Structure 1
Amino acid sequence: MNTPLTTVALASVALTAGALVSYQAGANATLGRALGHPLWATLVSLSVSILVAIPVMLAMRVPAPSVSSAAAQLPAWAWLGGIAGVIYVTSALLLTPKMGATNFIVCVVAGQILASLIIDHYGLVGMPVREINLGRCAGAALIFIGMIVVQWFTPRSQ
């Protein structure tokens, strides 16, 4: 069981990660414009991720995985998470300049909440079952209401 301090610490890290997603959307959109096509920015963004992950893994002395062992144990869908990353990064590149960072991210968060509720409720993609309850539904409804309010009250671009 998490202590209140642990909960605050974990929530703070998650909040920071969320803030960085907003930065990523804008930075990648700018990169896409400069490189002439959003897919080049997707490739650069994902390549930079690899270049940052490698030294971190080396510094932490992360042991090399047994890919053959993992391949035998994992369902096929477990290898496809990178596709979601490409779809997200490319969507951010294409949509953030058109929608604005706030409008794009509020829709992303609403989509994440909906998918997360379903994943938790049914224990999909290897997650433990956490059934939908009134509190989760109320929180999700508030997020969807917030998404509608943000979309409705945002002036359209010139």
Structure 2
Amino acid sequence: MTPSPKSWSSVTVPAGYTVALLSTDDSMAARHLTDAVKAWARTTGVHLTLVPAHDPRNYLASIEKAIEVHADLVVSAGDPLADPLALVTASWPDQKFLLLGAELAEPTFNVTAAVWKGTTARGGGSGAGNAWKHDPATFTVERARRALDAGVAAVLRGYAGFVVQVD
């Protein structure tokens, strides 16, 4: 879905909302996504738990740690975690997931993606993709923040399982 610009601005995050943030921080794009989520959490009063995922051999263990936080929402920053998340999200139907700057090739009803032109990942190993050309320059804190706002609004309004595209 492509929401109208700023249509998500009227959505208020409920008091006590919690987020677990999975982040690789291994690229400038991932750092911008992480910075956007941290700033959003400060602004909205969301309780944020950072779950580092720096070692690809331990991605599944990091995802498990994020799920064990029992947060209202698990947010994944960028595409490195897309394939590992595709392996586990269907096994956790009560956990909501938001992929920021990436999407799954076969998402389940509990997985929402927030993307923009310049994000191409649908899980690097899946062979799937979209027509956009990957452009790391599009991964700005401002764009990530817009996508995060729109993605969280979709989750809160009951549109989990969708791909939300923003400019």
What TM-score do the two structures reach when normalised by structure 1?
0.27
Larger RCO (alpha carbons 8 Å, 6+ apart): 2
What TM-score do the two structures reach when normalised by structure 2?
0.26
More strand by share: 2
Structure number with bigger Rg:
1
More helix by share: 1
